[in-house]
Amino acid sequence: MIYNFDEVIDRYHTESSKWDNVGVRVGNGDALPMWVADTDFPCAVPIVDAVKKRAEHPLFGYSYVVPDFFRVTKAWVARRYNWEIESEWIVYATGIVPVFNTMIQAFTDLGDEVIIQRPVYHPIAHAIEDNNRVISDNKLIYRNGQYSIDFEDLEKRASSEKAKIMIISSPHNPVGRVWTKEELTKIAEICLKHHVILISDEIHGDLILFGNKHYSVAALDEKYAQITVTCYAPSKTFNIAGLRASGIVVPNPDIRDGLQKQFARNRSIQQNVFALPAYIAAYTECDDYLEQLIPYLEDNIRFLTQYIHTNMPKIKVVPQEGMFLTWLDCTEMGIVGDELADFFIHEAGVAINRGDMFSPDAHNFVRINIGCPRSTLQKGLDLIRHTYSKKFD
């Protein structure tokens, strides 16, 4: 099937957080939404058909995790990530963020440390702080427009007797890095050495761009699998985040048992009745959608990079290896924090995510969502350029 990602679909009045709630969440209800991490592309037809078929039955009572969930997750992981997993390793979750919170509750105590790598997806930090644990920030190194891992600092943090969990974002949201096999191996070896459980958020793992390759860290060696909780979901890949379904792979039976028992204690394991039909369709019938989506995203990034380079040279596009979220370095603009956010959101009228959501140190960055039709992307860039020209040209 051929998909038209250039099609502009009106999302207003659909209870869309991105579009209908932009005023509450970002501060300007008239701003063009280029913020929260869902795309403006229609779902693949088999997913829509699966939901419609389920909706034709007039009863929407409680559902359960059917065997096909395990079968299709196992097949997808084997096909996409070259990792042969067992069905019993797979745990259903309504999302990856609940896994962060549940793992922290199950495997740490008050005052324990959880290692993260800022700037990083902000609900990771919230999960630590909301559960009264301590953030141990293995800050990424930003040098010459590129991000890398400070392994010397990571070793020190992992060696702390209070360090119990490390959470990685792979590919890394928001900086766009796709970690190499060598980088992931170093992370896993450090966690293994110091008995630190590794949670690998791989929700963007299907969206790998420009010839890069995604590796599931647990697939690199059986010994890494035994300390790792790997989080997969079709939500970003196929734009079905609102349906709430994730597959969590936990080979170690003790860690898996702890996760499941804490889920049960939290009463947080019931699923949306439409989630599993969509999940199963995504992982069995929608490869053609993904094959067409990747080059479209690549072209959007090329377009954005060239546009900004030509028209707004004080903004630098951090090289993007994966995802549909682009990290912009605005240091040369000379404005930060509230002033920088105001430039984009209120003056230009484009809703972005401010960088200091992801790290207190990232007040000179913003994250912009390029998962939209090319015309929408150009509209947003034109709005930014108009304001930029008045200030800097």
Q: Render 288-322 in DSSP notation, one character per residue.
A: HHHHHHHHHHHHHHHHHHHHHHHH-TTSEEPP--B
Strand-strand pairing, 197-201 and 228-232: parallel
The CA distance from 110 to 89, in Å, is 28
Size of the chain, expressed as the number of residues it contains = 393
- Residue-level pLDDT at 270: 77
Q: Is pTM, for the whole model, over 0.95?
A: yes
- Position 268 pLDDT exceeds 80: no
CA angle 48, 89, 285 (to 5 degrees): 25
The CA distance from 213 to 170, in Å, is 11
pLDDT tens profile 196-237: 999 999 999 999 999 999 999 999 999 999 999 999 999 999
CA angle 104, 105, 109 (to 5 degrees): 85
Q: Contact 33/24 with Cβ under 8 angstroms?
A: no
Binned at pLDDT 50, 70 and 90, residue 330 comes out as very high
- Residue-level pLDDT at 271: 83
Binned at pLDDT 50, 70 and 90, residue 372 comes out as very high
- Residue-level pLDDT at 77: 98
- Position 375 pLDDT exceeds 90: yes
Q: Contact 119/154 with Cβ under 8 angstroms?
A: no
Q: Contact 100/167 with Cβ under 8 angstroms?
A: yes
- Residue-level pLDDT at 393: 82
- Residue-level pLDDT at 56: 97
Domains of the chain and CATH, by start? 17-44+287-392 (3.90.1150.10), 61-285 (3.40.640.10)
The CA distance from 170 to 371, in Å, is 18
Closest residue by Cα to residue 301 from 358, 354, 239, 374: 374
Binned at pLDDT 50, 70 and 90, residue 267 comes out as confident
Strand-strand pairing, 134-137 and 113-116: parallel
Neighbouring C-alpha atoms within 13 Å toward the C-beta of 323: 28
- Position 17 pLDDT exceeds 80: yes
The CA distance from 34 to 37, in Å, is 9
Binned at pLDDT 50, 70 and 90, residue 4 comes out as very high
The CA distance from 177 to 345, in Å, is 26
Average pLDDT over every residue of 125-130: 98
Residue 64 CB partners (closer than 8 Å, separation 6+)? none
pLDDT tens profile 282-312: 999 999 999 999 999 999 999 999 999 999 9
- Position 42 pLDDT exceeds 80: yes
